[in-house]
């Protein structure tokens, strides 16, 4: 009789089987497709925001990269990362086309890593030219792939607004933060929030502010996913009752967390995965006075 302890072959077989079954189950569960028609804001009676992030546009990669099946597995929403830089331009073109012709949101919010490589001048030009084709208003905040820690440094990086900034759109005030917010930026955020009581506030930032436990573990092993000063910013945001949404990217992972105060729903923290990474997702967010609902969709139909 075969003994598991004494049979490494059997042990490996069962490990492989478990991995394979997990892959089939998890990958089938985690890939969303567009429904035949995307409900428009007129139909739902809610304001529709489209969130996309981490476009990682590159003009330097000339060969397609292989994607091992391990990069399709998600555990607790977390997956191995493998950017498809070769197709990054095609993916953004497809997203812009879908947004303009099918989804037609009221607003597009983009939370950084527009380009993959800061030295790829052509990628900046190409990506912003493509974004200008959007038929709807859009706001972009930079990621750590876009600008250096000390802010705008060269001509290409001047595509981005330097430092934190506000944009008013209808009843919403969108507050964009730089990827490495300084104490001065956080002080600015406080004064801006004090001035924004009559608006519904949406904060856009590249790095995550709230992270799940599993990500805390992974980020200790690899690169930090949380924003510098995240705790300070979270404390500040929790003092205001007109903040509806905080949108982030950077971790290339989907994550939604609702922050409650005294049992009352307060702020939705939403992180969306990279457009340039399997399964190439964007996020729709329906927002009303009462609630916020959200769903991610793969654009690789």
Shortest reach from residue 6's CB to Fe ion, in Å = 46
- Site residue total, Fe ion (CB under 5 A): 2
- Asked if 113 touches Fe ion (CB under 5 A), the answer is yes
Shortest reach from residue 14's CB to Fe ion, in Å = 36
Pull the structure tokens for residue 222.
């690899």
Pull the structure tokens for residue 231.
């705790």
**Are 140 and 110 spatial neighbours (Cβ–Cβ below 8 Å)?**
yes
Of 81 and 125, nearer to Fe ion (C-beta) is 81
**Which segment (21-29, 50-58, 103-111, 167-175) binds Fe ion by CB under 5 A?**
50-58
| H, E, C per residue of 242-261 | CEEEEEECCCCCCEEEEEEE
Shortest reach from residue 54's CB to Fe ion, in Å = 4
**Which segment (109-117, 132-140, 174-182, 194-202) binds Fe ion by CB under 5 A?**
109-117
CA-closest candidate to residue 48, choices 60, 61, 57, 39: 39
Place of tokens 């607790």: 76
Of 84 and 113, nearer to Fe ion (C-beta) is 113
Of 1 and 221, nearer to Fe ion (C-beta) is 221
Shortest reach from residue 116's CB to Fe ion, in Å = 8
Rounded distance, CA 227 to CA 182, Å? 10
Listed as own residue / partner, the contacts of 257-263 with beta carbons closer than 8 Å and 24 or more positions apart are 257/210, 257/212, 259/210
Of 54 and 120, nearer to Fe ion (C-beta) is 54
**Which segment (51-59, 205-213, 220-228, 285-293) binds Fe ion by CB under 5 A?**
51-59
- Asked if 84 touches Fe ion (CB under 5 A), the answer is no
Residues in Cβ contact with 97 at an 8 Å cutoff, skipping those fewer than 6 apart? none
CA-closest candidate to residue 179, choices 250, 108, 127: 250
Shortest reach from residue 106's CB to Fe ion, in Å = 25
- Residue 138 backbone phi and psi in degrees, to 5: -140, 155
**Which segment (112-120, 122-130, 134-142, 168-176) binds Fe ion by CB under 5 A?**
112-120
**Which segment (25-33, 46-54, 63-71, 161-169) binds Fe ion by CB under 5 A?**
46-54
Of 30 and 88, nearer to Fe ion (C-beta) is 88
- What is the separation of C-alpha 203 from the centre of its chain, rounded to a whole number of angstroms? 13
- Gyration radius of the chain over CA positions: 20
Of 87 and 196, nearer to Fe ion (C-beta) is 87
**Are 237 and 210 spatial neighbours (Cβ–Cβ below 8 Å)?**
no
**Are 264 and 290 spatial neighbours (Cβ–Cβ below 8 Å)?**
no
Of 159 and 172, nearer to Fe ion (C-beta) is 159
Among 48, 52, 54, 140, binds Fe ion (CB under 5 A): 54
| H, E, C per residue of 160-175 | CCCCCEEEEECCEEEE
Of 131 and 287, nearer to Fe ion (C-beta) is 131
Shortest reach from residue 56's CB to Fe ion, in Å = 6
- Asked if 146 touches Fe ion (CB under 5 A), the answer is no
The site for Fe ion (CB under 5 A) is made up of 54, 113
């Amino acid at each position: 009789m075969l003994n598991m302890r004494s049979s490494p072959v059997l042990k490996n077989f069962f490990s492989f089987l478990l991995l394979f079954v997990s892959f089939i189950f998890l990958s089938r569960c985690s890939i969303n497709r567009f429904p035949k028609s995307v409900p428009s804001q007129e139909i739902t009676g809610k304001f529709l925001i489209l969130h996309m992030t981490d476009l990682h546009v590159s003009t330097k990669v000339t060969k397609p990269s292989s994607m091992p099946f391990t990069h399709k597995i998600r555990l607790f929403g977390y997956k191995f990362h493998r950017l498809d830089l070769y197709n990054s331009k095609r993916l953004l073109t497809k997203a812009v086309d879908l947004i303009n012709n099918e989804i037609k949101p009221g607003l597009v919010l983009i939370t950084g890593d527009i380009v993959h490589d800061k030295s790829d001048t052509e990628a900046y030009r190409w990506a912003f030219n493509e974004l200008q084709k959007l038929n709807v208003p859009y706001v972009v905040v930079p990621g750590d792939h876009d600008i250096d820690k000390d802010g705008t440094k060269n001509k290409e990086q001047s595509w981005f607004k330097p430092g934190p900034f506000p944009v008013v759109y209808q009843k919403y005030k969108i507050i964009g933060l730089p990827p490495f917010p300084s104490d001065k930026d956080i002080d600015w955020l406080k004064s801006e929030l004090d001035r924004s009581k009559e608006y519904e506030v949406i904060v856009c930032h590249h790095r995550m502010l709230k992270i799940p436990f599993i990500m805390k573990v992974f980020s200790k092993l690899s690169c930090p996913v949380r924003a510098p000063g995240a705790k300070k910013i979270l404390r500040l945001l929790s003092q205001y009752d007109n903040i509806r949404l905080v949108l982030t990217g950077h971790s290339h992972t989907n994550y939604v967390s609702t922050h409650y105060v005294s049992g009352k729903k307060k702020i939705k923290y939403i992180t969306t995965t990279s457009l340039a990474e399997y399964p190439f997702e964007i996020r729709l967010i329906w927002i009303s006075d009462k609630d916020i609902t959200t769903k991610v969709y793969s654009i690789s139909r």
